[in-house]
Amino acid sequence: MYKLIFSALILTVASNVAFAEKDDADAATPGPDKCAKLQASTVFIPDKAGNRQKGSASKLTDSHRNAESQGWNFDEMSVYNEDGDLQGFFVTYTREHPCNKK
């Protein structure tokens, strides 16, 4: 359990660093009101063994719908395996950073 939480935390930090690197070129541009263009969030969707169609598929669909209703856009999905067994999915969503909205 702690492995999953730690992995999710590491992935969230890593994805935020990756998105921050995309904005490095813009960060060099002078201006007092500069902030990151995108905000990213990574969630973990666990998989129940033997229940993939009714478990993971519907959880992923619900996660996509929930994120979309809050203004997030799907960006990337990674499968998480442990000891050769599917454990779940890391799904990353992005949206425009609130400080860029006018």
Count how many domains the chain has. 1
In angstroms, what CA-CA distances link 83 with 9, 56, 86? 20, 19, 8
Give residue 59's pLDDT band: very low, low, confident or very high (50, 70, 90).
confident
What is the pTM assigned to this prediction? Answer: 0.61
Contacts of 12 (CB under 8 A, 6+ apart): 40, 41, 42
- pLDDT for residue 30: 44
- Which pLDDT tens digit goes with each residue over 4-51? 555 555 555 555 555 555 555 555 554 455 788 889 999 999 887 666
Q: Which domain holds residue 84?
A: 2-26+34-100
- Which pLDDT tens digit goes with each residue over 76-94? 999 999 988 888 999 999 9
